[in-house]
Amino acid sequence: MHLADRTWPELGSYFESESVAIVPLGSTEQHGPHLPEGTDHIIAEGLANEAADRTGFLCTPPVRIGVSEHHRQFHGTMWVDPETFRNYVESFSRNLAYHGIDRIVYVNAHGGNVDHLREVGRRLRADDTAYAIEWMWDESIPDLVDDLFEHNGPHGGPKETAMVQHLAPDLVREDKLEAAAEGGLRTFSDDEIRQHGARTFYDSIDNTDNGVLGDQRDATAEKGEELFEAATEQLVALLEWLDDQRFEDLAAEPHV
């Protein structure tokens, strides 16, 4: 069920019997010369919508701008500061709780949002408003991602390229894949970003001239479909597990 497509009486019927909501979140930021700036929210919305269709759980409108200041040097990147993002997500999550939702899955496709969504979940749990958890699609299927690609890369690499090839193929600049790989950082490890134990970079451009981390030349729409199906299965399983839990079992433990 998609909240924005329903009337208020229809939604009232949902809230009478269900207490789970799905919230897709992504970003609008550079993803190299080959992928659209909407890559993250395209992926998040695709997964959230599919999971909602399979389970019948409520899916809210998406959040398409996130914590992305570390990509600001590249044209078109949009961002909000972390406190604004956290407060916004917390506010509409409390709106959902007002209507009867007490468990939320943030379907996230942007790494910059992770810590902030975790903090929002902690706040909501602290006062027993709701149990809200962040779910990152590629972290749900790490072995498959590793099996499919030689150089995954955390940003603009093959896993994101393959997903967009599957979900929105017309938006992938296939003629730029070679340039994206050659102008980016093919491998990305702790040894390359640390000096004597300290992280030495703040922005993505500090590591990659074109914004790409990884080698997307082995990405295909078929691999994207495989990733999408596997991640959707994990998300559906998470939603069904969450729905089965007693809310009191999800609440914070009392002081010892």
Write down the pLDDT at residue 190. 66
Domain 3-250 carries which CATH code? 3.40.50.10310
- Is residue 155 within 8 A of residue 188, CB to CB? The reply is no
User: What values do phi and psi take at 57, rounded to 5?
Assistant: -75, 155
Alpha-carbon span 160 to 170, nearest angstrom? 15
For residue range 13-30, what is the model confidence (pLDDT) as tens digits? 999 999 999 999 999 999
Write down the pLDDT at residue 206. 87
Three-state secondary structure of the chain: CEHHHCCHHHHHHHHHHCCEEEEEECCECCECCCECCCHHHHHHHHHHHHHHHHHCCEECCCECCCCCHHHCCCCCCECCCHHHHHHHHHHHHHHHHHCCCCEEEEEECCHHHHHHHHHHHHHHHHCCCCEEEEEEHHHHCHHHHHHHCCCCCCECCHHHHHHHHHHCHHHCCHHHHHHHHHHCECCCCHHHHEECCEECCCCHHHCCCCCCECCHHHCCHHHHHHHHHHHHHHHHHHHHHHHHCCHHHHCCCCCC
- Is residue 245 within 8 A of residue 100, CB to CB? The reply is no
Write down the pLDDT at residue 195. 78
pLDDT in tens, the chain (256 residues): 999 999 999 999 999 999 999 999 999 999 999 999 999 999 999 999 999 999 999 999 999 999 999 999 999 999 999 999 999 999 999 999 999 999 999 999 999 999 999 999 999 999 999 999 999 999 999 999 999 998 888 899 999 999 999 999 999 999 999 999 888 887 766 666 777 888 778 888 988 999 999 899 999 999 999 999 999 999 999 999 999 999 999 998 889 9
